[in-house]
Structure 1
Amino acid sequence: MAPLRIGIMGCASIAVRKVLPAMAASPRTEITAIASRNPGKAAEIAHAYGCRAVEGYSALLDLDEVEAVYIPLPNAAHAGWIELALTAGKHVLAEKPLTTSVSRTCELIAAAGAAGLVLMENVMFLHHSQHTAVRDRLAGGAIGELRAFHAAFAVPARPAGDIRHRAELGGGALLDTGVYPVRAAMSFLGSEVDVVSAVLTRRHGRPVDSAGQALLCTADGVSASATFGIDHAYRSGYELWGSEGRIVLDHAFTPPADHLPVVRLERRSGVDEIPLPPDDQVANTLTAFAAAVRSGRLPDNDDVARQAVLVDDIRTKARLYVDHAPEPVG
């Protein structure tokens, strides 16, 4: 099977640190071109990977040899460039969230389906085998009936000018880190969980939320809490709390490829720490994307659309605190 020829739209940190090395190492993908508004930056990175440098994103979409594009641009730029890429007949792997609105997310999913093109949201943790191991133990009754789910993902503060602090670029903790625990809750409790309530916090005069927490619940009363932030000590994990015990997983969302996962199982009989083999969620995601394109099997993006609805509901239902002073969301 010929490798999927991918053009890179921008030189974002996640692309340079994680995705490009994995893409170059995979037999399923080929870095064909790298585009940037800064021709010097594109040339530097393209030279490192032995591919073509392109000035401007539109020029990348004009290249016949590019079959698919990877879009790691700021959140607010996703929708427009996804639409243009689909119009140009390119398959798309876009960083999460797919867009910043429910309506645009649903429009683009429909457009990709109508065109027979693969549109995938790059939620890489879903492609790590450690979650399958957790799910198998839950299904096997290791902790009895599931009563509650708790997940948290937060990262240390970035410099003031970082895109995460800029509202016009779709910044903020909810879109940056909040989608992880929300998607994890959907994965374990089902996509039809609803948002009950939420809190968002803005700090240091910034125009975006820097922290938040949401309470979600299933129709039969199983709750999920999702905690997130972009000015915290690092945390990435979740726990499933059952009638007879707990399952705890640390390093749940962004583990490096050499990380050795450990599933912690707590029951009355004691605590078991179950080691798992390392896995590369970045490589697995790229493999899944390439396989979808080559097979012609379009991904089911219902969960992507539902995630967008839940994120919008969190924003709508949240009580907003500005430097710890409550005010209406607006």
Structure 2
Amino acid sequence: MNWGILGAARIAQSALVPAIREAGSTVHMVAARDPQKAHTFAEENQIPHSSSYQELLKNSDIEAVYVPLPNSEHLEWTIKALEAGKHVLCEKPLTLNASEARAMIEAQQKSGKLVLEAFSYRFHPQIERMLERLREGAIGEVRFLKVTYGFNLDRPDDIRWDPRLGGGAFYDVGCYGIDIMRLITREVPEQVHAVARMTTGGVDLDLGAMLHYSSCIGLLNCSFGLPFQQVFEVQGTRGNLILEAPFATDNYEAHLTVNGKAETFPKINPYAEMVKHFEKAIAGTEPLRFTLQQDSLPQMETLEQVLNAVDYPRT
């Protein structure tokens, strides 16, 4: 399959270009607002063509596009890609709020093309194994979900410090915690309580939330001001389950511990597994596992609940 990349972002270079190639496909073209930046990115990554966004979407050789643009631009360019007849793999968070997610769903349905929100961690085998163990009742009835995901964002010019672009720790890493809790509960919470410490620039540096689901309580911590850490724990009536690296990226030897017994998973590239699945869904050989209507919309509804709970400033 021929892919185009809308935006010469770091994540595209470090993760998606290698993943597309590992899946056996081709990165045909990269686009950027700055023609020189697109050209340089193409040369550095052995991509045959570079262009503007508009030129890429007009290219009939491209079947699918990857959108790693700033969060504030996901809606606009995903819709434009759909209108151009392309399938879209869009970075998380899919949009900035539930209203935007509904607009994207409408565009997706009109186009007949597929859109997948790029939570690559879902495609790591530790996640399906975790869900299997919970379905088996390995820890009894689930009562608490606890997620921590933080790191030290020490680049002052990083776009994630810019509220106009959808910056902040919650949009960047907190969304992972919301998503993994939703994979287990399959619900939008009934109530949300949250607090945040804001930067002078207007984004959250630290955010903590308590989410009340029908049968359990979720606790979320996310930050741009901590040493790198991520962990997910599920507490049940008969024990607990821990993922020490729930959002593990490529070539990490992951571990799932259930009631003190650890299970190790071989090193894989979940980005490549995500691309392989999306291409099979495009080809019609397997159904799309995570859809906008059933997965991304309730995800955005929950994110919006948390943002409303902290009275997050809107640009």
TM class by shorter chain equals over 0.9
Q: Return the match for 1:306 from 294, 298, 301.
A: 298
Secondary structure of 2:226's partner?
coil
Which structure's CA Rg is the greater one? 1
> CA–CA distance in 1 between the matches of 2:53 and 2:83?
14
Q: Does 1:238 align with 2:232?
A: yes
Q: Does 1:295 align with 2:295?
A: no
> CA–CA distance in 2 between the matches of 1:41 and 1:229?
30
Q: Does 1:72 align with 2:68?
A: yes
Identity %: 27
Q: Does 1:215 align with 2:204?
A: no
Q: Alpha-carbon deviation of 1:69?
A: 0.9
> CA–CA distance in 2 between the matches of 1:158 and 1:188?
33
Q: Equivalent residue for 1:226?
A: 220
Secondary structure of 2:174's partner?
helix
Q: Alpha-carbon deviation of 1:48?
A: 4.1
Q: Does 1:247 align with 2:241?
A: yes
Q: Alpha-carbon deviation of 1:143?
A: 1.4
More deviation, 237-246/134-143: 134-143
Q: Does 1:51 align with 2:44?
A: no
> CA–CA distance in 2 between the matches of 1:76 and 1:215?
26
Contact 1:24 1:49 in 2 (8 A): no
Contact 2:121 2:249 in 1 (8 A): no
Secondary structure of 1:233's partner?
strand
Gaps of 5+ in 2: none
Kindly provide the amino acid, as one letter, of the partner of residue 208 in structure 1: V
Q: Alpha-carbon deviation of 1:163?
A: 0.5
> CA–CA distance in 1 between the matches of 2:91 and 2:190?
24
More deviation, 222-231/273-282: 273-282
> CA–CA distance in 1 between the matches of 2:182 and 2:91?
19
Alignment length, in residue pairs? 311
Kindly provide the amino acid, as one letter, of the partner of residue 51 in structure 2: E
Q: Return the match for 1:146 from 139, 142, 145.
A: 142
**RMSD over aligned Cα, in angstroms?**
1.8
> CA–CA distance in 1 between the matches of 2:91 and 2:128?
23
Q: Equivalent residue for 2:270?
A: 281
Contact 1:31 1:49 in 2 (8 A): no
TM-score by length of 1: 0.89
Q: Equivalent residue for 2:3?
A: 6
Gaps of 5+ in 1: 321-328
Contact 2:57 2:84 in 1 (8 A): yes
Secondary structure of 2:156's partner?
coil
Q: Return the match for 2:255 from 262, 267, 274.
A: 262
Q: Alpha-carbon deviation of 1:90?
A: 1.0
TM-score by length of 2: 0.93
> CA–CA distance in 1 between the matches of 2:119 and 2:107?
20
Kindly provide the amino acid, as one letter, of the partner of residue 203 in structure 2: V
Kindly provide the amino acid, as one letter, of the partner of residue 94 in structure 1: C
